[in-house]
Homo-oligomer: A and B are copies of this chain.
Amino acid sequence: MICNFDQLLSHAQSLGTRIVAIAGAQDEAALSALLEARKMGLAEGKLFGNRSAIIRILESLEVEPEAFEIRDFPDEVGATQAAVECVRRGEADILLKGKTQTAVLLKAVLDPEHGLRTPRLLSDAFVFEDPHRSENKLVMITDGGVNIAPDLQQKIQIVQNAVDLAHLLGNSNPKVALLSAVETVSPSIPSTVDAAIIAKMNQRGQIKGCTIDGPLALDNAICKEAAQIKGIDSPVAGEAEILVCPNIESANLLAKSTTFWAGFRLGHLIMGASAPILIPSRVDTPDAKLLSVAFGVIVSHRKM
């Protein structure tokens, strides 16, 4: 089982080099993510976009453009569709967003004929390393990137995508906390009601491969002492490994707090398509970009 980011990187390296297709590759954040991963032997790239702009950025990053297959496209949509198609045909393993709008990328990915669609919902998984944890230090937060206000069915699929990722990291029965502002079920707070329903579905064997509890507040999900003080009897409380937030704002704010306040390392990717999708942020550190590609490498070995 992969319990920290050093283990993640060694494991990804042991799997051999994978091919990353960049949609709109004239983008420094995207190219630098690829270059970080290339230095570590994790990935090579196929670049789709404005050739002259791509070459200019590669040169500014002191990399020989000849090292990459570059396919020239004048427009964002064409470059994106071609990158997606390349992954769909198995000529690349990981899709990486460059200078293209997320909406354009997701539209191409979700195209029933030419995309990377599966029966699953797409959802974002943000993973951070909590140095204070003793065993498994990798904790996921979802979904802070794709689904704005998921309904019950969508939340279940978000859980399943995160559980899939945990399984791929060797965690065969991750502990899932469905977060809200409180740990009691309150009909006036819909997120607590959804949490209670999903937890019961897990208990009845309708959602497998994980142990789910909720509603939980952050304190009692991640801190054993807090759970004890509140008298919460739960197999998840205090040691949750997947934190499922009720909406995009809570997941996104919580995830960013781990980076900007707590100073934890991170990686992130989109699950649920037939190949992993990476959306590097301009604000991501080189380390975060590298770790995100490492997640992509590991996930790409079991296409969904």
Contact = CB atoms under 8 A, between A and B. Distances in A.
A179 interface: yes
Interface stretch (A12-20, A247-255, A268-276): A247-255
A247 B250 CA distance: 8
Contact of A256 (B191, B218, B251, B252): B218
A292 to B, nearest CB: 16
A228 B257 CA distance: 18
Interface stretch (A39-47, A56-64, A168-176, A259-267): A259-267
Contacts of A263: 262
A130 interface: yes
Interface string A111-148: 00000000000000000001000000000000011001
Interface of A: 130, 144-145, 148, 179-182, 188-189, 191, 217-220, 222-223, 226, 229-230, 245-254, 256-264, 282-283
A261 B257 contact: yes
Given A191-B249, A219-B256, A245-B249, A130 B181 contact: no
Nearest to A141: B253
A250 B262 CA distance: 17
A245 B248 CA distance: 12
Contact of A222 (B144, B188, B229, B260): B260
A189 B283 contact: no
Nearest to A102: B182
A249 B180 contact: yes
B189 A252 contact: no
A219 B259 contact: yes
Given A148-B188, A283-B229, A130 B261 contact: yes
